[in-house]
Amino acid sequence: MTQTIVIARYNPELDEKPHQETYQVQSDDNTSVLDALQQVQQQDPSFSFRWSCRMAICGSCGVMVNGVPKLGCQTFLRDYPVGLVITPLSNFAVEKDLIVNMEPFLEHLSAIKPWLINTAEGTQPHVQTPKQLAKYQQFANCINCGLCYSACPQFGLNPEFRGPAALALAHRYNLDSRDQGKAQRMPELNAKNGVWTCTFVGFCSEVCPKKVDPAAAINQGKVESAKDMIVSAFKPTGAR
């Protein structure tokens, strides 16, 4: 059957501001939003959007579907019988059509050092028990799609906020028994733009395609930050 979709279009070289255009696409029960976007691109080769794996692994095809952040490949036209409006991810600057500038998100991500920090020498593997793995495993499923940043009203108000995915990953590495980098990450979490900008809206966890639950990670991070403040009060000034 034929379905109508509305897509936000913007060409910075021609348009003063974004506008919406209507397209007809062929759809059945298996047609994803990403499939529909590819059909539109065949109709109009000037249409731009990001995609890669089409199986919710790469995190490239994030768009707003009727105002809610979604992965295009994981969202199906059959669930939108009254039609859909597809716009670029909220809270990011639009570069062209559905392509946004992800650079601010990547800066926040690198600021919290999302990698194993371990100074141990040698070639032995870092052994980990299932219990130690279970502590952080849920928070390790992030694919950096940025949907949580589009869902977060606090990131919308304050782009300096480190944001859901970055803070969830900081928590993930802080909980990892192989990691020794917590002391290096805590100053970022303790800051105003760290965990403390979050007001536990929780929409980040709702839209997360990988069920990472960043809202839980950030609020566990608040407990860690509060503990860190108490501990620091008993340390000599130079050691803070």
Partner 1 sequence: MNNGTKQPKRSDEPIWWALFSAGGVCFAVLIPGVLLSLAVLYPLGLISAEMLSYERIHFMVFEAFFGLAGLAFVGAAICLPLFHAVHRIHHGLHDLQWAHGPVAKVICYGAAILMSAIALGLWIF
Residues at the site binding partner 1, with contacts judged by CB under 8 A: 107, 110-111, 113, 153, 157, 184, 187-188, 190-194, 196, 199, 222, 225-226, 229, 232
Q: Which is nearer to partner 1, 53 or 226 (CB)?
A: 226
Pairwise CA distance, residues 31 & 82, whole Å: 15
Closest distance of CB 212 from partner 1, Å: 23
Pairwise CA distance, residues 62 & 88, whole Å: 8
Q: Which is nearer to partner 1, 3 or 225 (CB)?
A: 225
Closest distance of CB 219 from partner 1, Å: 10
Closest distance of CB 195 from partner 1, Å: 9
Query: Cβ–Cβ contacts within 10 Å for residue 234, how many?
Result: 7
Q: Which is nearer to partner 1, 98 or 167 (CB)?
A: 167
Q: Which is nearer to partner 1, 19 or 192 (CB)?
A: 192
3-state secondary structure of 70: strand
The answer to whether 98 and 36 are in contact (CB under 8 A) is no
Pairwise CA distance, residues 179 & 163, whole Å: 22
Cα radius of gyration rounded to whole Å, the chain:
21
Closest distance of CB 119 from partner 1, Å: 16
Q: Which is nearer to partner 1, 6 or 111 (CB)?
A: 111
DSSP type of residue 72: G
> Which uninterrupted H or E stretch holds 218?
helix 214-233
